Amino acid sequence: MNISVIEKEEVLHLLNHLKKSPQTNQRILSKTLGTSLGKVNFILKELGKKGWIKIKRASQSKNKLAYIYILTPEGIKQKTKLTSMFLKRKIEEYNRLKKEIEKLELELENMQIKTN
């Protein structure tokens, strides 16, 4: 699965949610991630194929279509990598924004000095 930055973020959020709530369902995941049910289903199947999660039928559930999504050791490893990449990207974004804010504040300060 060759995934874009946005999709990596969706996968990370999905893995985080599965870690906290392995007995969640795809509708809840869809609402939580703000994406379609079909996309959630596709991502879950792909993560299962890659060995990042195990998908098991919830035998104790009244709902016979209920599943449990368990992160595998490989899934935990990949979640850690995605988290590291996400954090690095957000720090870079923060630093760019901080510089832009400082530049705009300086411009505004200069404009106020000239108008006084």
26 is a domain residue: yes
105 is a domain residue: no
pLDDT tens column, 86-101: 999 999 999 999 999 9
51 is a domain residue: yes
2 pLDDT exceeds 90? Answer: no
5 vs 67: CA distance, rounded Å? 28
CATH of residue 19: 1.10.10.10
Q: How many domains does the chain have?
A: 1
Please report which confidence band the pLDDT of residue 61 belongs to, taking 50, 70 and 90 as the band edges: low
9 is a domain residue: yes
11 is a domain residue: yes
What domain range includes position 23?
Answer: 5-90
Helix or strand or coil: residue 42? helix
CB 29 within 8 A of CB 17: yes
Q: What's the pLDDT at 14? A: 95
pLDDT tens column, 15-59: 999 999 998 999 999 999 999 999 999 999 999 999 999 999 877
| CA distance to 39, 68, 70, 95, per residue, from 15 (Å) | 14, 13, 9, 27
| CA distance to 5, 38, 88, per residue, from 72 (Å) | 22, 23, 24
- Give the global pTM: 0.76
